[in-house]
Each structure stands twice: as C-alpha cells, then as structure tokens.
Structure 1
C-alpha cells in the first residue's frame, strides 16, 4: 500500500485560532480521501474542547467525538504548554510573558515528542501545518526532515504589512507609532495611516506593552519564514478574488489562498453554545430584519459599552440577537437595561455564528472585524457594521468598507473607545435602511457571496490551491 499523506495541524489555544485550524483539518480530509490528519493544540484548551470524548488516553485518541464519519483519519492529540490551566487573561505583563516563554519552550519539546511518537506508531507526519504564534513548529519539522507550511489566519494585506515591517520599514513605523494619522507607504499596499496597522506592531513593539510577547513571536515567525528554502509555503485563509492585487506584495513566499475555510458541520470550540432557542426565535422574525451583534471570543465589554450597545439596539426598533459571553465580567443584570427591558431582542452567551449568519432573518452583523467573523459574514452575504478593536481588525475593517464595500465602519468615542448608541443606530440604518446606498451594500454583499461559492467550488481558485497543496504533500512522501 502506498504511504498516506499525514498532516499535523498545530494551533495556538485561542478560539480565533482553533476554529480555522480545525476547519482546515476537516478540509484536508475532504480534499484527500486517503489522508490522515492530526489536530493538536495546548492541553488545557484540548480538555475544554473535547472533555466529552471518551478515548481512554488522557484526552488524545482517535476520532473527534462529533460522529462525522472520518473513519479514524482525524486524530486529536494535545501538546503541553507547560501549564495546568493555560493562560488566564487579566494578569500583568510579566505573567503573560512568562506564559509565552513556557508555551514556546515546552510546546517545542512536546510537539517534537508528538511527531516522534506518531512515527513510532506507524503514522509518520509528512507535512506540518502551523498557525501564527508557533514559529518553532517549523524548526521541529525541519529537524526531522518534514516540510512545513504556515497557515496564515488573517488577510494577505496583513501578512504584507508584517512582512514589510520586519523587512526594512520598522524604523519609520516605530518613530511615528504614537501618531495615529501619520501616513505610511508600504510596497504593494494602499496608503495607510499608522492607526490602520495591526496593534501588535504599533502598540506591542513597546516592551512595556501587555502583548509584547506576541510582537516578539511575530518577529520570530518572519525570521523562521526567511530561513525556509527555497521559499516558505504560506496557506492563507482568504480567496484570490478578495486580494488579488495584494498577493504580489508577499512574493518572497509561496502563498496559496485556500479560503474562506468554513465549518463543514458542528464543530468543537472553547465556548459552549446556548441551547437552540435563538434559532427558534430567528425563525419567527421577518427576512433581513435582525441585527446580529458579536465582538468575538477575546474582547470584554465594560458596563458603559454594554449599556450603550443595548440602548442603541433597542432604539433602532429592529429585532436583534446579541452575544454576551459568560466570561464577560459585566453581566446583563449589571447594566441599566436588564433582561426585563429588552423588548426587541435576545441576548445569548454564545451561538453557532455561521448558522446564525446563514439564517434568512439576519440582515446585518455588528462585528469586531475579527477575520473569522468577516469571512463568515461575506460567505453568508450579510452586510457588516465594523467596530474594530485590536490586532488585524483595523485593517480588516478597511477591507470591508473600502475594498469590498460590504459594510461600514462605526466611529467610537475618541476618549473612551466606546461605541455610542446614536452611532450604532446611524450605521445600522446605513446598511439596513430603505435608501439606495443601503440597497447597494446588500447587492454587493450578495455578489461576494457568489464569488466565495465559486472560489470554494470544484475547480475554483481556493479549491485548486488546496488540491495543489495536498498533491505536493503527497509527492514529498
């Protein structure tokens, strides 16, 4: 029997990284029916995701407990990050830096042992695929003679920004990083203000910043890519049609656009969904009438922001579905407008976002512009109101509003960073109103939905690229 390609997919233990990585694992299985895939993240996150899987192996074992019929080709195995409970947000800079140091050192050691153990079991890894914050994964692969590929889970434009920052443009950015309006010229990219750049460049370059450990990890990542020969392979969770002109800005790498990598069914995650009552509620709403609101898996809402948000939604007069995570320190009962005052909407702790965005009743997505959320919204043809906060979200909002014209960006209170109720009402009306401008946004969103379907369909640009990657891995065996 010919050797089977075996992909080891590694990811940082955050929901925004886990979701696209686990989705890619499933897409690799679909693209190569004879392939094996091992998905691995840090042990504390693994336990949260798969606590109900009965495998007798301390959280590893075959299968993923979702009953999706992969015939044992998908295996879920954790690696150690050197901790029992993972990183707990809200600590100080030293604590976070300590976690990152442990994650890198212990993760590298543990993943090396994992690769060796898989080979000893007769399941040798033929290609390592790793997400943003694991630069050492390429070293682990190289030391064992296994090719690797970075899975970039942000847009090509952000890949290009980081590339140019770490290849000759850091000086000018660092000199002006406190001036949000200073204009930066980067090769192959439109003119950008410092305030448009990823916060992990503009803020976290400062050693006193909480996320400085993320900044240094990105620096190490691009150093790792530069050491790959002949060219580093980078899979990007986007489609060629979205960013065709920007691809040339990262010609130093072999870039394959393979997205949007969407869920292929129920998927595990770090957050447990509320029951399906929200879907029954959506079923009772008119088409294109509901405002869906979610600021992702990381950001916390302060009392002032939650109060403004709920007032704006209620005053809009439109039905709404709002996600307020269980781990948010401010609860619904803490704000002026509690559950008894919510006449038009529903607040849930977590939901199946793609299922919600796919529902005919949803007419607008108020989002933090995390890349997963942006892709899911475009794939479902839902216009957006962007409220970017950190990381790549500011650039993502520019793409949504100016490049693809599928949404608008809301302005926040300059001093407090709060989205005010009046601004929320105004921006929702811009994409859901009766005027021609709103109708044009909706038509454009519908057009991009069709483009995504074509890119992912048989013979589409993303389908071709993923097939080429799989066949390249097969030829390396």
Structure 2
C-alpha cells in the first residue's frame, strides 16, 4: 500500500505500536498524542495501542479513529487496591514483568510490520525491545521536563553529597547545579522522594531515564515556553531533537481554540455540574480536585471542606470515596461530583480558581484555561510543580505545609480549617491586588500555551517534525 507523507513523498504504511505506562494520566496523554498524529498524517498509518487487560476493560469502548486498534497484555498487578497500597511493588512490577508479554505481542501482531514504537519514558524495556528488533523508539516524558533533567543528572546529587539524605536535611539544602533548574530547596525538587524510603522506586526511575539516549526520539508533554531554560540546557546532550508538544496531550481532541478562548465540543446533553456552573456568577467558583490516583488524607480533606465552607466561597469538589458524605452538608454554595470533564470545568467562566494536587496535566490544563491555583502537593514532582506555581510563575498560593517525618514514616502535616478559610477568601477576592497581579501573569502564560498549539506554534511545529521523522523511518525500511 502506497500513500504520501507530510512532504508528499511516497511512503509505505506506517505501523506504530504505542505502549503507555499503565496509569490513568499516562494512558490518556499517549492516546491523545496518537489521536493527534492520526489527525495530521498524510500517509497510511495504523496505531496499535497496547494496554493491560484491566485498562482495556476501562477504556476499550472509548471513541477513537478507525486506524487506532487496541491490543492487550496481562495485568501487572491484580487490582487497584494493590497499586494504591504497594506503590513500590507496582513500580517494580511494571519495570520487570511486562517486557516478555510485550515482546510476545509483537510476535503475534497481524498486519503491516511494526515501523515505530512510542512508549512512556518511565519504562526502559520498550527501548531495549525496539533496539533488538531494529525498530525506532520514541520516548514520551509525561512530567515537567525539569524533573527529567533532575533524574538524568542524578549523579550530580551523589557527587555533591545530597543523596542519600538524612531526614532533617531537605528543608535547608539549596540545589543550584541541576542544568536548567533554578536554585531551590532539596525538599522542593521532588517531594522528598529522594529519601531512602523510596530508594527502589527511585533507582528504577533513574535507570529508565538513563536509557533515553538509546531511543531515537524524545517527546515531552511540556511546552517550550514554560520551561525554556531546561530545554536549552538539555538539547546539546542528546543526538536527536527534543519535541515538547504540550498541551496538545491534555487539551485535544476535546477542545479547540477560537481566538484566545476555550470552546467546548457540541454535546447533546449538558451535565448537571455544568448546569450548576452556568447558574453561578463569573469567577466566583473554586474548583477542587486532587486527581484520580492519590489524594490527601481523609482528615485533611475534612479540614479543606470545612475551611472552604466557612469561607463562604462557592466551590465545586471532585471526590470519589467521600462524595455522598460531603454532598449532604455542602448546602447551596457547593456542588460535589465523583467525576467531571476537568478542562471543560476549568474553561467555564464561573470558575475563578483551582485547588489542585499539582499533577502536571492539571497544571497544564489550568494554565491553558487561565485559572489561578491553590496548591496542595501530595507526592513526587507535585512539590516542585507547586514551588514553580507559587515562587517562579507567581500564579497561586500554597495551602499545605511541608512534609515532616515521624521515625521512618513520611507524614503530611495538617493544615487547619481556619487557615484554609482565610487563605481561600484572600485568594478568591477579586479586589485583592495580589490576585490582580497573578491574573496578569497567568494570562501571559495562557497566551503562550495557546499560541504553542496553533498552526506554526512551537508545539504544533514539533509534532509535525516528529511525524516527518517517523514517516522517513518507514521509507528507509
């Protein structure tokens, strides 16, 4: 079968195998990338999207282009309960138990020969499989590129005596030697994941990042304009370009740009939470969500809800386990749901702020929507993301206190309802001069992100360059 590529040159059919990390945000980011590739290519392409059997049960019926097909490998762990309570075991299983079933899947695939593999950077083994089979591999980093620089240059922490660290150290040590990263506290680099309690998971992460030079492409869900110093510092270190393509990974295909505003796709029914938002004044609602994987403690959630209620500020809260209990007492000022279309909510005119765990996709969506943030990081890169929101970009406030340790246990210190109430009132006050300055800053970042995905923008151009690369790989085979 012959067709044309983005340069209108003859090319054979391109068969891409996409292997995401088996976690929600990673799967959806890679699927959105695959959908975007399908919408842009001018040559014949087939994408086999590989998920565990458990995840296929969750997303197998989702809409997708006809040239994206699902295939499955066995579950790495038996249930979500195990993932939540044995995180290190889950990380190790992903790193060690999926390579063999993935290779067997490649052996039994029907259709055109596999011409490229797209995979998550957190897994090293797909790169090894691709190299053994002479298949080009594209590694996709789904966290801020600053965190990639940290793990790629992890040996610098060892050389400077900052790993492993003692319990009392992270708050007082300033790190100023990671390429592209502004000086910051060690504790803010990665939420104390550097502590030896997480040593095994950290070793696997650092090892995976170290294998990226053996791939042929590096893509990232970040935006060049958000992290230019890091991208500029990393570019000379690799024999191939780095392609930041965010926020395409989290804003398409659900949304498109109309000038500088977010517009939703047409739907036949309007969800109840959107109807509630429609009835609220512009900029009056605080949207609260802590992601789908980890969350704050039940005690901290109780304090947050009580604090927001006593502030008198309207709020919309997304929570699964406690939704019914919280909903009973939220009154007319609050709306509680177990799930929502987050970007649709953030783009709603009535939403004036976002209380977030600082997951990278959530941050990208908030900036794209031009929404200020209250940060309550929980783990990992979320602490560095929070620091950048509050201290670097200056588009939000931090809610919770720093992590503490009791013996060998990492403990999230409790922020009380009175403190939360006062902070929420200050944050949502339209007459707050600090808020007005933050609004100006977030609007500048919003414009940068929106321009990045428009025709000829940095992310748009990077994705086209990557597509040209994989099409040329096909023609060379």
Question: If the TM-score is normalised by the length of the shorter chain, which range does it land in?
Answer: 0.7 to 0.9
Q: Report matched runs for 1:131-280 at 5 Å.
A: 131-166=120-155, 169=158, 172-178=161-167, 179-181=169-171, 182-186=173-177, 187-199=179-191, 201-203=193-195, 206=196, 209=197, 211-228=198-215, 233-251=217-235, 252-253=237-238, 254-260=241-247, 261-265=249-253, 276-280=271-275
Q: Which has the higher strand share?
A: 2
| In structure 2, C-alpha distance between the alignment counterparts of 1:164 and 1:296, rounded to whole Å | 29
> In the alignment, what sits opposite 1:41?
51
> In the alignment, what sits opposite 1:418?
414
> In the alignment, what sits opposite 1:394?
383
**1:223-255: per-residue Cα shift (whole Å, max 9, x none)?**
322445xxx532111111111112133232332
| In structure 1, C-alpha distance between the alignment counterparts of 2:345 and 2:327, rounded to whole Å | 23
Instruction: Specify whether residues 47 and 284 from structure 1 end up closer, same or farther in structure 2 by C-alpha distance, changes over 3 A only.
Output: same
- In the TM superposition, residue 77 of structure 1 has moved relative to its aligned partner by 1.6
> In the alignment, what sits opposite 1:88?
82
- In the TM superposition, residue 215 of structure 1 has moved relative to its aligned partner by 1.4
SS at match of 1:129: strand
Q: Report matched runs for 1:333-412 at 5 Å.
A: 333=325, 339-412=328-401
1:109 aligns with 2:96: no
| Structure 1: stretches of 5+ with no match in the other structure | 54-64, 268-274
- In the TM superposition, residue 438 of structure 1 has moved relative to its aligned partner by 0.7
| Mapped contact 1:176–1:194 kept (Cα < 8 A) | no
- From 46, 60, 68, the equivalent of 1:74 is 68
Instruction: Specify whether residues 338 and 4 from structure 1 end up closer, same or farther in structure 2 by C-alpha distance, changes over 3 A only.
Output: closer
Instruction: Specify whether residues 399 and 153 from structure 1 end up closer, same or farther in structure 2 by C-alpha distance, changes over 3 A only.
Output: same
SS at match of 1:113: helix
Q: Report matched runs for 1:316-327 at 5 Å.
A: 316-325=311-320
Instruction: Specify whether residues 15 and 351 from structure 1 end up closer, same or farther in structure 2 by C-alpha distance, changes over 3 A only.
Output: same
TM-score (norm 1): 0.84
Instruction: Specify whether residues 300 and 452 from structure 1 end up closer, same or farther in structure 2 by C-alpha distance, changes over 3 A only.
Output: closer
TM-score (norm 2): 0.84
SS at match of 1:346: strand
| Mapped contact 1:308–1:421 kept (Cα < 8 A) | yes
| Mapped contact 2:157–2:163 kept (Cα < 8 A) | no
SS at match of 1:173: coil
| Structure 2: stretches of 5+ with no match in the other structure | 3-10, 256-269, 405-411
Instruction: Specify whether residues 31 and 431 from structure 1 end up closer, same or farther in structure 2 by C-alpha distance, changes over 3 A only.
Output: farther
| In structure 2, C-alpha distance between the alignment counterparts of 1:47 and 1:141, rounded to whole Å | 27
Q: How many residue pairs were aligned?
A: 436
Instruction: Specify whether residues 426 and 177 from structure 1 end up closer, same or farther in structure 2 by C-alpha distance, changes over 3 A only.
Output: farther
**1:190-222: per-residue Cα shift (whole Å, max 9, x none)?**
11211112147413xx2xx3x544312212213
Instruction: Specify whether residues 15 and 469 from structure 1 end up closer, same or farther in structure 2 by C-alpha distance, changes over 3 A only.
Output: same
**1:161-214: per-residue Cα shift (whole Å, max 9, x none)?**
1111145646622143521221122233211211112147413xx2xx3x5443
- In the TM superposition, residue 116 of structure 1 has moved relative to its aligned partner by 2.8
| In structure 2, C-alpha distance between the alignment counterparts of 1:160 and 1:413, rounded to whole Å | 23
SS at match of 2:163: helix
SS at match of 2:17: strand
> In the alignment, what sits opposite 2:473?
476
| Mapped contact 1:413–1:419 kept (Cα < 8 A) | no
| Mapped contact 2:152–2:210 kept (Cα < 8 A) | no
**1:392-445: per-residue Cα shift (whole Å, max 9, x none)?**
001111222233222222233766522322333343344422122211211222
| In structure 2, C-alpha distance between the alignment counterparts of 1:389 and 1:100, rounded to whole Å | 18
Instruction: Specify whether residues 246 and 344 from structure 1 end up closer, same or farther in structure 2 by C-alpha distance, changes over 3 A only.
Output: same
